[in-house]
Chains A and B, each alone.
Chain A
Amino acid sequence: MYSNKVLDHGTKAQESATQVTLQIDGSNVTVPAGTSLMRAAVDKGVKIPKLCATDSLDAFGSCRLCIVEVEGRRGFPASCTTPCENGMKVKTQSKKLAELRRGVMELYISDHPLDCLTCPANGNCELQDMAGVTGLREVRYGYDGENHLTGEKDTSNPYFTFDATKCIVCSRCVRACEEIQGTFALTVQGRGFDSKIAPGPTDFMSSECVSCGACVQACPTATLMEKSIYDQGQPDHAVVTTCAYCGVGCAFRAEMKGNEVVRMVPHKDGKANHGHSCVKGRFAFGYATHKDRLKTPMIRRKITDPWQEVSWEEAFAYAASEIQRIQKQYGRTSVGGITSSRCTNEETFLVQKLVRAAFGNNNVDTCARVCHSPTGYGLKQTLGESAGTQDFDSVDHTDCIIVIGANPTDGHPVFASRMKRRLRGRPGTEGAGLIVIDPRRIDLVRTPHVEAEFHLQLKPGANVAVLNALAHVIVTEGLAKEDYIAQRCDVGEYAKWRTFIALPKNSPEALENDTGVPAAQIRGAARLFASAPNGAIYYGLGVTEHSQGSTTVMAIANLAMVTGNIGRTGVGVNPLRGQNNVQGSCDMGSFPHELPGYRHVSDASTRALFQAAWGRPIDSEPGLRIPNMFDAAVDGSFKALYVQGEDIAQSDPDTQHVQKALEALECLIVQDIFLNETAKYAHVLLPGSSFLEKDGTFTNAERRISPVRKVMPPLAGLADWEVTVAFAAALGYQMPYSHPSEIMDEIARLTPTFTGVSYAKLDKLGSIQWPCNAGAPDGTPVMHENEFVRGKGRFFITEFLATEERTSRKFPLILTTGRILSQYNVGAQTRRTENKVWHDQDVLEIHPHDAELRGIKHGELVALHSRKGDTALRAVVTERMQPGVVYTTFHHPESGVNVVTTENSDWATNCPEYKVTAVQVTAHAKKSEWQKDYESFSSSQEGFLPGTATRGETN
């Protein structure tokens, strides 16, 4: 259950224009209409006993512990389900009430084991507390009657236990799974005395449960309980911090004992997640103390040498001398750096500062190159700001949702739960309409109580064609919001675009061949979206990771503008960003052409500002992008790279090319918490620190800057920002910060959208959505409200061009890639947690028809070939896929998925085309040559780590 040190209001807060005033225990209380008596009492400091109510759920009224007396009314109404009314006089305590409540408790306790002293919930149990407050002293029924004390424990989930003997059947868990998570994995099985909580006719592990932990958090007893509490006992203090996994950026209470995290519990006041989380953030934090963590700096001359452990000073001195030697020999631009979307804003800012000021060039890039660079470009061009337009809460006010190229239930699970709640609607109200545009039947298309009105199951690579066709229907059927456009957009550009989009070649009928979607469906979807009062578009990497990624983003912006859906709550263009801080790393100037705040390096006044602050000249020429760095390394003109917290060897496409580039470097400096794939090519290893070991901030997909707080000392002695500061010092460049708050102060000084941000304000507000400055001192939940950031919204012509990656006789299938709920990105963290039970290998999803044609059976190893390379994976035969398309994930390095992906990329930003590769799949495979080479290279590299002999044995 949630910590009992945090006040539980019993029922949800209500919003209402009307206030009602009543008397509770003799004093007046005024609350919004609809507020329960229970909550009003809590507001007044009066806690009414309760068991089945908690403030994250709708009131249910089953336990009858919360009864009160209301003057002039008969009986004893339950305070959780009774709304406040003007003039009510309520008594929460009386002799009669005490007697009745004690009676209720007596019944509960007569069927409950009395082993409180050895119970894991001891000290944090609502049942215990209620026995205390109701003054239960004896249980008259005895324990020899019928009871549930012989129930069984279900320990199948790796993170929590279900101990049926302790269950009071309050159904808080069932309701949490339904209302909050939206999975409906729990039920009350049977009826009456036989009723029991069950995850269907099976155990948790084989059930529909997605291990989000909402039920564990809602359970008032020890029935559903974190295993970590069984092992470590109850925590004694908590620190509020931010999840280091996905772009939802959930706020958490790290509940601690000394320096040890006992459990992570989503923070109720967190504005991105409102007390919910997914399996990664809540449970998969064990990697932070995994034995594989790097704890000592290491260096070596050649990558065929074993590693040599050295002091931090020696490591910095060696790295700096190598950079200086290489710059002397090959020139100033022969070195560069890569910032991390997993590190904090402050750390990212420092890495780009080091590259620009100490390396003296602009060769800095970030992994956003390979995910959301088209978002930055496309939204800047059309709307004027490289970020999503809304906050997550906005989805509550949407009437129609388009999800394109995103799989929120796997990639952004907490936001997906929020979205599903809106799609289901509240009891008695309609949910929002849903249009899914995806080659794959993702879960959202049809999942309990949610069903898309339209699933436009397009061919991979046809996003622009589908979006153009939707816009065509809107424009030609007179559904465009001309008033909005006339007022808010550049009308000249609109007129040009309108003429273009109305051309017959953009009609759904004409494009049917390219899209693979029946024209009638596109027409239906266009009408549904255009006629909704509030329409919102959510998209992910299925939009950006294409050769037309930037065009697609602009087509999305066009669609939002033509339907008048930007600039208020409930609408907008919402990129679901992948990594925890990918928005932040972009904001912080991680791109080779942009200084912090998306200002071009060629702009003299911006440069002057930074030059003055940093005391070094700034190059006016944009530097190299990641793929250019690889090409230049292979060509021999790029020689040294400083990589903080990214695993380019695994995450970037066309692995064999990347490997060649890394091998060609004379000095690769890797800063990471593990010996990741890239580190196997490194000359200097600087141990990184996990998000639990440092202070800083992350910025999530809704531009929300949230605090990251140090709860334990860095394992290797230095936080990541301290490492960069010391490395710069070794290069002769001083950045003397004593705390990350000073770095944020510098960012605020230099960046107009951040001028109002400070740690003091973050402490006060909890989190801040940028822009935060004089015009918006508390931040900006919704952007472009009165006008677009660029002034007038600009329509761009989005001509559909099919990708050059085409299927052929040799490669007749299209491979597209994605992610899975239990794993995160390259998996370096999640593979080192119990999450591996769900996904211990990447698998290849293939349609039954394609499988049969090739004699492929479910579960067998199959070979995947493309013009770039080969690998082998296990096949999963599923109707989720459309015929002709196969799908996999890239969470495990040995799967070598990126050996197969190609060098194709977005025309504007070089974002790789991960989503379209022509492939062939064949049955009866063995491991590919690349996989065998990888295995032997990888194991020799692991052997180079000091003390590996013993590591092998203890594992």
Chain B
Amino acid sequence: MQPSAHSGLAVAATPAQLAVVDAALARLRDLPGALLPIFHAIQDELGFVPTDSLPRIAEALNLSRAEVHGVLTFYHDFRTSPPAPTVVKLCRAEACQAVGCRSLEAHLHQAHGAAMGSTTHCGALTLEPVYCLGNCALGPSALVDGKLVARLTTQRLDAIVAAAKQKAAAPGGRS
């Protein structure tokens, strides 16, 4: 419950982004189980689902914002902020855990500032979790911009971060 004189949530998403959200809502809101298709449609266009879109989605589907947030965060596929130019999806399932994926995660966090679900300090790489890539025998595994990488080590991760920085600095790379 917000104070009654409150001016409403500060909106950080751009009007263009919100227009994408509204268009997706207009198109899909009447589907049964519309929430996931709406998230996918927004992420396909924007690369992420802006947090500011939650009240709109909630309002359109007559759900609470909390419920929409719950579903959004349940699926690892959805991001709530724009990804960096390079996205690393690190496997966190049992087999990869057994061969130390958690310490890789910790390394990325400590050395580069990317906690799970967030972006490195340099802004070049976003770390996301994934659960089993079917590559269990060769773990720890990850997808780097969609490409499967096996037998990851901290050194190899550092190299991936370095490459990501180059890509971000190159013309056309977002930063």
Contacts and interface: CB of A to CB of B under 8 A. Distances in A.
Q: Which of B9, B63, B69 has the most CB of A within 10 A?
A: B69
Contacts of A839: 3-4
B73 A200 contact: no
Given A146-B102, A191-B74, A200-B54, A207 B65 contact: yes
Contacts of A840: 3, 5
A198 interface: yes
A822 B1 contact: yes
Q: Which of A201, A822, A859 has the most CB of B within 10 A?
A: A201
A758 to B, nearest CB: 41
B4 A876 contact: yes
Interface in A199-230: 199-201, 205-211
B36 interface: no
Contacts of A568: none
Contacts of B68: 200
A820 interface: yes
Given A146-B102, A187-B70, A201-B69, A208 B4 contact: no
Contacts of B80: 201
A184 B116 CA distance: 27
B65 A208 contact: yes
A839 B3 CA distance: 6
Given A201-B51, A201-B80, A448-B58, A185 B3 contact: no
A191 B117 CA distance: 13
B14 interface: no
A837 B69 CA distance: 26
Contacts of A874: 5
Contacts of B175: none
A200 B69 contact: yes
B103 to A, nearest CB: 12
A400 B40 CA distance: 38
A348 to B, nearest CB: 32
Contacts of B51: 201
Contacts of A184: 63-64, 66-67
B82 to A, nearest CB: 16
A207 B3 CA distance: 11
A211 B4 contact: no
Interface in B49-88: 51, 54, 58, 62-70, 73-74, 76, 80
Contacts of B155: none
B64 A190 contact: no
B4 A843 contact: yes
Q: Which of A184, A187, A194, A841 has the most CB of B within 10 A?
A: A187
A215 to B, nearest CB: 12
Contacts of B74: 188, 190-191
Contacts of A858: 7
A206 B69 CA distance: 14
A200 B5 contact: no
Interface string B142-159: 000000000000000000
Interface in A27-74: none
B64 A448 contact: yes
B6 to A, nearest CB: 8
Interface string A810-845: 000000000011100000000000000111110100
B73 A185 contact: no
Contacts of A211: 1
B67 A448 contact: yes
Contacts of B9: 206
The number of chain A residues touching the other chain, given as a range, is 35 or more
A446 B102 CA distance: 45
Contacts of B62: 446-451
A879 to B, nearest CB: 11
A184 B65 CA distance: 8
Q: Which of B3, B54, B80 has the most CB of A within 10 A?
A: B3
Contacts of B2: 205-206, 838
A791 B14 CA distance: 67
A573 B21 CA distance: 44
Given A201-B51, A201-B80, A838 B3 contact: yes
A843 B74 CA distance: 39
Interface SS, B side: loop
A874 B4 CA distance: 10
Contact of B1 (A194, A201, A210, A449): A210
A550 interface: no
Contact of B64 (A206, A208, A843): A208
A299 interface: no
A87 to B, nearest CB: 41
Nearest to A145: B102
A201 B74 CA distance: 13
A183 interface: yes
A402 interface: no
A186 interface: yes
Contacts of A841: 5
Contact of A449 (B63, B66, B73, B76): B63
A187 B66 contact: yes
A207 B66 contact: yes
Given A190-B74, A448-B58, A200 B4 contact: no
Given A200-B54, A208-B1, A185 B64 contact: yes
Contact of A201 (B4, B7, B65): B65
A384 to B, nearest CB: 41
Contacts of A450: 62
Contacts of B69: 187, 189, 198, 200-201
B154 to A, nearest CB: 19
A512 to B, nearest CB: 29
Contacts of A446: 62
Contacts of A187: 64, 66-67, 69-70
A450 B64 CA distance: 11
Nearest to A146: B102
A194 B51 CA distance: 19
B1 A199 contact: no
Contacts of A188: 70, 74
A185 B67 CA distance: 8
A52 B7 CA distance: 38
Given A184-B66, A190-B73, A201 B3 contact: no
Given A189-B73, A207-B66, A208-B65, A821 B54 contact: no
Contacts of A146: 102
Interface in B69-116: 69-70, 73-74, 76, 80, 102, 116
Interface string A443-480: 00011111100000000000000000000000000000
A183 B64 contact: yes
A876 B102 contact: no
Contacts of A859: 5, 7
Contacts of B70: 187-189, 198
Interface string A839-866: 1110100000000000000110000000
Q: Which of B1, B4, B63 has the most CB of A within 10 A?
A: B1
Nearest to B65: A200
A208 B59 CA distance: 12
B66 A208 contact: yes
Contacts of B58: 448
A199 B66 contact: yes
Query: What are the 5 A-B residue pairs with the smallest beta carbon separation, nearest first?
Result: A187-B70, A184-B64, A200-B66, A187-B66, A448-B64
Given A183-B64, A839-B3, 17 more contacts: A184-B64, A187-B66, A187-B70, A189-B70, A191-B74, A201-B54, A206-B2, A207-B65, A207-B66, A208-B64, A209-B1, A449-B62, A820-B4, A838-B2, A858-B7, A859-B7, A876-B4
5 contacts: A185-B66, A190-B74, A198-B69, A279-B1, A840-B3
Interface of A: 146, 183-191, 194, 198-201, 205-211, 279, 446-451, 820-822, 837-841, 843, 858-859, 874, 876
Interface of B: 1-5, 7, 9, 51, 54, 58, 62-70, 73-74, 76, 80, 102, 116
